[in-house]
Amino acid sequence: MNDFSYLKPASRQIDFDKFDDRLLLYVLKYELSFATCISCGGCTATCSAGNLTNFNVRKIGLWLRRGETEKLSEEIGKCMFCGKCTLICPRDINIRNVILLIKKRISMLKTEKEMP
């Protein structure tokens, strides 16, 4: 039988009680310029890693805003830090630093979990 599950998508409501803002607040604390992101996707278009694999910088920004920590920790390691995204960003966002901060915060979260 055909799979018609897409006709009944799962709820995409954001539950603010469960909203995980740990990454977002950390990034904004040290790199406020991220707040001006308009998700234009220029970064994704130029991305060297995105050319080799399924990696999307624009989505990283979206997930960061939605607090999707798990997805981020899976994807963030793909970045090669080449800096093209930072150069072409029309809002002059320091994207390399945003990625570095996300990476750092995720590793901090992991060690926090290990130490209850």
Partner 1 sequence: MIEKSIIIPFLIGLIYLSIIFIYRFTKWIRGLSKLDKLRLMQSLKSRRFMLSLKEIFMEGLLHHKIFLKNPILGYMHMSLAFGWFLLILIGHIEVMCAKNSIFVPFHLAIFFRYFETTKNFAFSGVFSFLMDFLLLFVLSGVCMAMLKRFKKQMFGMKRTTRLKTGDRIALISLWLIFPLRLAAESMSANLHGNGSFLTSTFGNFIGNSGSETANFIFWMLYSFSLGFFFIALPNSRYMHIFTEMLFIFVRNAGIKLKKHNNTFTDIQVYSCSRCGLCLDNCQLATAGINNTQSVYILKNIRNKNLTDEQLFNCLLCGKCEVDCPVGINTIDLRITQRIESTLQYNSSYSYLEDIPAQKADVVYFAGCMTHLTPGIISSMKKIFQMSGENVWFMDEEKAPCCGRPLMQAGQYEAASKLIFNNTKKLLGSNAKKLIVSCPICYKVFKEDYELGKMEIVFHAEYILQLIKDNVIKVNNSNERIIYHDPCELGRTMNMYDEPRSVLQETGKLIPVKNEKQTAWCCGGSLGNLKISQEERTILRNQAVEDYLQYKPDILATACPMCKKTFARHREIKVLDISEIITNSISKPTEEKITKQKTKNKIHENEFV
Contact between 44 and partner 1 per CB under 8 A: no
Q: What is the C-alpha separation between 6 and 1, in angstroms, rounded?
A: 14
- 95: which 2 tokens? 């994207």
Q: How far is the CB of 63 from partner 1 (least distance, A)?
A: 17
Is the C-alpha dihedral spanning 98, 100, 104, 107 positive or negative?
positive
Rg for the chain (alpha carbons), in Å?
16
User: Smallest gap, in angstroms, from Cβ of residue 82 to partner 1?
Assistant: 4
Taking the least distance from each CB to partner 1, the nearer of 39 and 108 is 108
x/- letters, 68..87, toward partner 1 (CB under 8 A): ---------xxxxxxxx--x
**Per CB under 8 A, does 25 bind partner 1?**
no
Stretch that binds partner 1, among 5-13, 15-23, 49-57, 61-69 (CB under 8 A): 49-57
Q: What angle do CA 97, 103, 109 make, to 5 degrees?
A: 135
Residue 72 CA to residue 64 CA, distance in Å, equals: 7
Among 24, 30, 44, 45, which residue sits at the site for partner 1 (rule: CB under 8 A)? 30
* Side chain identity at residue 95, one-letter code: I
**Tokens standing for residue 77:** 């390691």
Kindly list the residues in this chain that would bind partner 1 in the complex (CB under 8 A).
30, 33, 46, 48-49, 51-53, 77-84, 87-88, 92, 94, 96-97, 100, 103-104, 106-107, 111
